[in-house]
């Protein structure tokens, strides 16, 4: 039986979701009960994922939590952003939520910059809205940048609406 990229990706996604959202480490064997031929390649992908996680967040348990930010330059940058939001009239809870949201957007964008230019396989044999979109999209190589710009624009608009509401 041939290793299916889509099957591997689906199983890796389940592992990552459990790891990030619930702090669990699912076993490759359990994830591949119905496809034992995928257990070894999935174990390799899980090991690579965990190695990347550790390189980004070197906590001993390999969890995906970020360490507390202590760098004075970084703290000043967050302080400047918080000051801007405070002067714009955001209350303390809204400042923390807005900074968190912008932080998440930027961290996600940073990961996307390091991703391959083609991150989803365009597989015409699959019948899904994503595959249709991939086959028809004309974004070119600046997909990540355009995605970040859209996210930032929507975030700024959303913050304005949040503050006004």
- pTM confidence score: 0.55
CB-based contact 40:47 (threshold 8 Å): no
Neighbours of 26 (CB within 10 A): 17
pLDDT digits (tens, 9 = 90+) for 72-105: 888 889 899 999 999 999 999 999 999 989 988 8
The domain spans of the chain are 1-67, 68-165
Q: Identify the pLDDT of residue 15.
A: 85
Alpha-carbon gap, residue 101 to 108, rounded angstroms = 11
End-to-end CA separation in angstroms for the chain: 56
Mean predicted lDDT score pLDDT of the chain = 81
pLDDT at 145 over 90: no
pLDDT digits (tens, 9 = 90+) for 114-143: 666 677 777 778 788 888 888 888 887 788
CB-based contact 45:8 (threshold 8 Å): yes
């Amino acid at each position: 039986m041939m290793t299916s990229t889509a099957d591997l990706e689906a199983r890796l996604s389940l592992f990552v979701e459990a790891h990030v959202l619930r702090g669990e480490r699912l076993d490759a064997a359990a994830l591949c009960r119905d496809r034992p031929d995928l257990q070894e390649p999935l174990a390799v992908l899980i090991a690579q994922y965990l190695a990347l996680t550790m390189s980004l967040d070197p906590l001993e348990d390999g969890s995906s939590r970020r360490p507390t930010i202590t760098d004075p330059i970084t703290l000043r940058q967050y302080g400047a952003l918080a000051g801007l939001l405070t002067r714009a009239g955001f209350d303390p809870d809204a400042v923390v939520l807005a900074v968190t949201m912008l932080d998440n957007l930027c961290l996600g964008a940073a990961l996307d910059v390091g991703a391959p230019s083609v991150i989803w396989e365009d597989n015409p044999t699959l019948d899904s809205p994503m595959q249709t979109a991939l086959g028809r999209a004309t974004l070119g190589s600046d997909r990540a940048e355009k995605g970040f710009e859209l996210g930032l624009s929507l975030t700024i608009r959303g913050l304005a609406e949040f503050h006004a509401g």
